Amino acid sequence: MTAQPVLINGKWRASSGADSFQATNPATKEQLSEVYPVSPWSEIEEALTAAATAFKTVRSFSGSRFADFLEAYAAEIELRIDEIVEAAHQETAYPISPRLKDGEMVRTLDQLRQAANSARSETWTLPTIDTKTNIRSMLGPIGPVAVFGPNNFPLAFNSISGGDFAAAIAAGNPVIAKGHSSHPRTTQLFAEAAQNACETTGMPDGFIQLIYRTSHEDGAKLVSHPLLGASGYTGSRHAGLVLKEAADKGGNPIYLELSSINPVFILPGALTERSAEIVDEFSASCLMGTGQFCTNPGLVVVKAGEQAESFIAAVAEKFSNAPAGTLLGEGVERSLRAGIVAIQRTGAHIVTGNQPVDGDRCCYANTLLRATGKSFLEDPAGHQSEAFGNASLIVVAETDEEMLRIAEHLEGNLTGCIYSATDNSDDALYDKIGEELLQHVGRLLNDKMPTGVAVSRAMNHGGPYPATGHPGFTAVGIPASLRRFGTLDCYDNVREHRLPTALQNNNPHDDLYRDIDGTMTIDDIA
C-alpha cells in the first residue's frame, strides 16, 4: 500500500523513507487503513533547507502577512471541520461532541485568530525606544521552528494547528511540523488546509512543512541543526529530555512541556466547609478526558482526620462508579499501569481501581491510591511518578508542618492548587504553603481544579524544570507565547527609513504599545 505523502518545500510528495506505520483506533484496537511514512534524514535536511530559504523571504514581511495567513488558514479549517473531527475521533477515541467539535476545534480556531491579531498589531515584539541615545529594540523572528505535537490534543496542540504552531508563525517563522504518530490523518488534513492558505496568501514554499515520524536520532539532529531557529515540544519527559540535550548542545532554544502531576492541597477548613463540592470537582477534573491532560490533578494532599477519610471514601465511590474512559493507545495504557506500579512501590495503597476493564479497547480502571505524608517524605520522587491517565494519589499528612514539608519536596509542575475555607480561617497555613508551592509551579490556583487552561494573555502554561525547560516562558497565552520564538533585535543609530516600521517615529498601529523613554504609549515620537 502506498504511504501518504509528506509536505516538503510546498509540495505534497511521496516520502523517500522505506519504513512506514499505521495509526490505531483506541476504541477498537484496530489499525486504521492509511499508511504513513517514516521520514529519513535526507528528507528532514531538505525541509530544513527549504525552511531556511522561506525564512529569507518572509523575514522582511510585516506582521500583517502572517496574520493574513493565520486567518486564511482558520477559514480553510472551518471548511473541513467535520472531516477533521471525524479523523481525530477515529484516531483518539475522543467524542466528537463536546470534546472535539465544540471544545478543541473552537479553541484551535480561536488561538489561530488571537495569534493573527497579535501578529498584525505586533504587540508581542515589546518595542523599546531610547530617544536620547537613538537605540531602539524589539523582538524579531528567530528562524525556522520545529514543532513536535503531543498525543493528547489532536487539534489544539497539533504540531501544525496548535498553540506552538500559531505562536511560531505569528512571530514570523517558518514551521517544520513533526506530527504525533497517533493521529497522522488529523494532522495531514490540517496540513492540507494550511498549505492551501499558504498558496492563497502568497507565502513561499517551505513556509509550513509536515513529516509524520522520524527516528529519535534524526529528531535530535533536527533540533540541534544550525539552520533551525528553535523548537517547541510537548510530550513525555524522557523523549523531551533527549531532544533538550541535543538542542542545548547545538545552542538552539527548545521550549518543552514535559510531565506534571499538578498537586492539589486541600486545607482543613475547606474540607470541613465543602467536602462534597470538592469531591465532585476533583473527580470530574481527574477523570475528564480519561485524565489525559497535562494539568490533570495527579496528587492531592489532605490532613489526616475523619474529614480526610470521608473525602477519600467519597472520591473512591465516584471513581468506581464512573465508567473507565478510553485511553489514547496501548502505549498510554502501558505507561499508566507502569506509573501506578511505580507509585505502589513506595508503599502507597490502592483504594480503588488498578485493574483491566475491557480488552476490546485501550482502557484501565479509574484508579485511586493513598499514602501517608511520612511515606511521601521518605521517597518524594517515587510518590511523584507520573501516572498519565485516570489515576491519582491522595497523600494524608499528619500535621500542617508535614503538609508544608510535602510542598517543599515537590518537583517542578505546571500548576498547583490550594483549596481553603471561604472565611479565610485557613490563611495562616495558606500563607506558608502558598509561598512554598509557588516556587514549584508555573500557575498557582485557589479553589479550583487545574484542568482548564484558558487562552488568556495572563495565562502561564509553563513552570520550573522538569515541567518545562525554562521557567520564564509560557506555551499558552497570547501574545506571551509568541516571545519564545523571537530574538532581541537592537538598532543602534540606524537610519530611520531602514528601521522596522514598529520602531520608526510614527507608530504604525493604533494598538501597539511602545516603551518610549520608559513611558508605555501608542503615541508617535514627535
Among 90, 469, 502, 507, binds a second copy (CB under 8 A): 469
Is 496 considered catalytic here? no
Contact call for residue 133 and a second copy (CB under 8 A): yes
How many CB atoms sit inside 10 A of residue 356's CB?
Answer: 11
Residue with cell 525547560: 469
Contact call for residue 251 and a second copy (CB under 8 A): yes
Among 30, 355, 472, 524, binds a second copy (CB under 8 A): 472
Contact call for residue 437 and a second copy (CB under 8 A): no
Tell me the number of residues near a second copy by CB under 8 A.
77
Contact call for residue 442 and a second copy (CB under 8 A): yes
Site for a second copy in 207-226 (CB under 8 A): none
Among 83, 86, 248, 400, binds a second copy (CB under 8 A): 248
Stretch that binds a second copy, among 5-13, 296-304, 383-391, 484-492 (CB under 8 A): 484-492
Among residues 71, 91, 286, 294, the one annotated as catalytic is 294
46-65 footprint of a second copy as x/- string (CB under 8 A): -------------xx-----
By C-beta, is 329 or 469 nearer to a second copy? 469
Quickly list H helices, 251-372: 268-287, 306-321, 330-344
- Nearest distance, CB of residue 17 and a second copy, angstroms: 30
Return d(Cα 37, Cα 65) in angstroms, integer: 32
Among residues 257, 281, 333, 386, the one annotated as catalytic is 257
Return d(Cα 231, Cα 148) in angstroms, integer: 8
Stretch that binds a second copy, among 61-69, 159-167, 391-399, 423-431 (CB under 8 A): 423-431
Distance of CA 114 to the CA centre of its chain: 17
Is the Cα dihedral 141, 146, 150, 153 positive or negative? Answer: positive
Among 107, 213, 370, 443, binds a second copy (CB under 8 A): 443
Stretch that binds a second copy, among 79-87, 103-111, 383-391, 429-437 (CB under 8 A): 429-437
Return d(Cα 201, Cα 301) in angstroms, integer: 52
3-state secondary structure 51-109: HHHHHHHHCCCCHHHHHHHHHHHHHHHHCCHHHHHHHHHHHHCCCHHHHHHHHHHHHHH
Among 308, 460, 502, 507, binds a second copy (CB under 8 A): 460
Return d(Cα 367, Cα 494) in angstroms, integer: 63
Pair 234, 164: CB distance under 8 Å: yes
Among 353, 430, 451, 482, binds a second copy (CB under 8 A): 430
- Nearest distance, CB of residue 384 and a second copy, angstroms: 14
Among 27, 35, 135, 227, binds a second copy (CB under 8 A): 135
Quickly list H helices, 224-267: 237-250
Is 363 considered catalytic here? no
By C-beta, is 132 or 238 nearer to a second copy? 132
Among 457, 501, 504, 509, binds a second copy (CB under 8 A): 457
Q: Which amino acid is at 221?
A: K
Q: Which amino acid is at 485?
A: F
SS3 302: strand
375-414 footprint of a second copy as x/- string (CB under 8 A): -------------------------------------x--
Contact call for residue 471 and a second copy (CB under 8 A): yes
SS3 513: coil
Among 16, 97, 456, 505, binds a second copy (CB under 8 A): 456
Return d(Cα 314, Cα 283) in angstroms, integer: 10
Those residues with Cβ within 8 angstroms of residue 507's Cβ, 6 or more apart along the chain or in another chain: 514, 522, 523, 524
Q: E strand or H helix at 393, and its extent?
A: strand 391-397
Q: What cell numbers appear for 364 in the block?
A: 484501565
Among 299, 459, 482, 502, binds a second copy (CB under 8 A): 459
- Nearest distance, CB of residue 227 and a second copy, angstroms: 11
Return d(Cα 289, Cα 296) in angstroms, integer: 10
Stretch that binds a second copy, among 66-74, 132-140, 275-283, 301-309 (CB under 8 A): 132-140
Among 1, 495, 510, 526, binds a second copy (CB under 8 A): 495
Q: Which amino acid is at 497?
A: H
Question: Any idea what the Cα angle at residue 150 is, between residues 108 and 242, rounded to 5°?
Answer: 140
Pair 120, 67: CB distance under 8 Å: yes
By C-beta, is 347 or 466 nearer to a second copy? 466
Site for a second copy in 340-379 (CB under 8 A): none
Stretch that binds a second copy, among 286-294, 337-345, 387-395, 507-515 (CB under 8 A): 507-515
- Nearest distance, CB of residue 475 and a second copy, angstroms: 11
Q: φ, ψ for residue 42 (rounded to 5)? A: -55, -35
- The set of catalytic residues is 257, 294
